[in-house]
Amino acid sequence: MMFCTYALKKQFRILHSVFKQQWGGFNDPRDKALCMSMNFINENNEKQIMVNQQIFGSLKSDDTIIAIQVHNRSDYLKIAIDALEKVKGIEKTLIVFSHSVFDPKINKLVRNIKFAKVMQIFYPYSTQLFPHSFPGDDPND
């Protein structure tokens, strides 16, 4: 099961390189945090880690897959996770959390799920990751 294509990974590396060139490296602590976030997201998307596989086994052809689009509202996500935990047969499910932003608090919520197989994927071209170039504010716009 591939969620991240080779072309997407290559484009992300190119954009990451352009960001470093345009802004003279990562001298500002915010830029270093941004670089760490980019690296985490790229590595996570590339590895496609399925959490809890050792507890519930590999994904089977008849297992259900639930995709949840996550934004930045951790309180709503917590309610959704608590509700999913009560669903009959949830242990036979892969829950894919697709994130539009990188938020350590939200990541912790997802990583603490113990009732089903879980995978996280991240949108690699967010304004959070590219605030000084497309899709964020580009000084050349």
Q: Binding site for substrate: what residues are annotated?
A: 69-73
Residue 115: CB partners within 8 Å, gap ≥ 6? 84, 85, 90, 91
φ/ψ of residue 122, rounded to 5 = -130, 140
Which secondary-structure segment (H or E) carries 90?
none
Residue 61: CB partners within 8 Å, gap ≥ 6? none
Binding residues: 69-73
